[in-house]
Structure 1
Amino acid sequence: MKNKILFVLCLLFGLMFINAGLNKFFNYMPMPKDMPANMVSLMKAITDISWLIPLVGIVEIIGGVLFIIPKCRALGAIIIFPIMVGILLINIISAPSGLPVAGVLMAINIWVIIENREKYLPMVS
């Protein structure tokens, strides 16, 4: 049962990141109209660095695909982790209303990392 729950969560998590990554290229989800001023200035600063948004989009797509595939999930979790840290920090500092969703996503990512901890041991030993 635990494996089925984990698979469904990983599937949804991966699809969400694939969608977010594709949105960086095709811009089909508009930005909310009621964003806080500090968030608007932060997004403007991020988009001023022309290579950053495509890089994040590619990482989100690759990480999302790997997160869905059980054999590659450990790699996907590590690839997505820095993006999740950024999402969590942005929500803590600039947009606390999104913190519950960001916290759940970070918990899923950490759960997958813990579940696959034996695959990371060769890197640190």
Structure 2
Amino acid sequence: MNSKLTIALRMLLGLILLVFGANKFLNFMPMDAPSEGSFMAALITTGYMMPLIGISEIIPGLLLLINKWKGLALVWLVPISVNIVLFHIVFDISTIAPAALVAVLNIVLIYANWNKFKTLF
């Protein structure tokens, strides 16, 4: 795959993760309050899940942006991508586009770096 394309896709995925991860701490993109008793309200109420999810997005996002340990960052993102997509399929299908974009970028970048992942399979 074209190295300039993979760089652009890696940077895009890194920026998406960094922005959405940072939003869990700084709340610069306002979200509607989740309805009482919803899954999202339960996650927020725990007090630790949203920061954990935010850090789990920020760290691989930064690794992708600085081009350090790409393989680790992409493998780290697989369960995160799956959970993001499944959350939107089950709870809010209308906003699945960003979730699908993250998953597709993750898959494409894993394919582009397949030589690093052959031993996992």
TM-score range, shorter-chain basis?
0.7 to 0.9
Unpaired runs of 5+ residues, structure 1, are: none
Aligned to 1:14: 14
Query: Percent identity, aligned pairs only?
Result: 35
1:74–1:119 CA contact under 8 A, matched in 2: yes
**AA matched with 1:47:** I
Cα offsets for 1:83-125 (capped at 9, x unmatched): 111110011111111223322321110111122222234456x
The 5-angstrom pairing of residues 39-118 of structure 1 reads 41-118=38-115
**AA matched with 1:84:** S
- In structure 2, C-alpha distance between the alignment counterparts of 1:51 and 1:100, rounded to whole Å: 26
Cα offsets for 1:34-72 (capped at 9, x unmatched): x7x59x812101112222111111111111011223352
TM-score by length of 1: 0.81
TM-score by length of 2: 0.84
The 3-state SS of whatever aligns with 2:57 is: helix
* Structure 1 ranges of 4+ moved more than 3 A: 121-124
Q: How many residues align?
A: 121
Superposition CA RMSD, Å: 2.3
1:24–1:53 CA contact under 8 A, matched in 2: yes
Unpaired runs of 5+ residues, structure 2, are: none
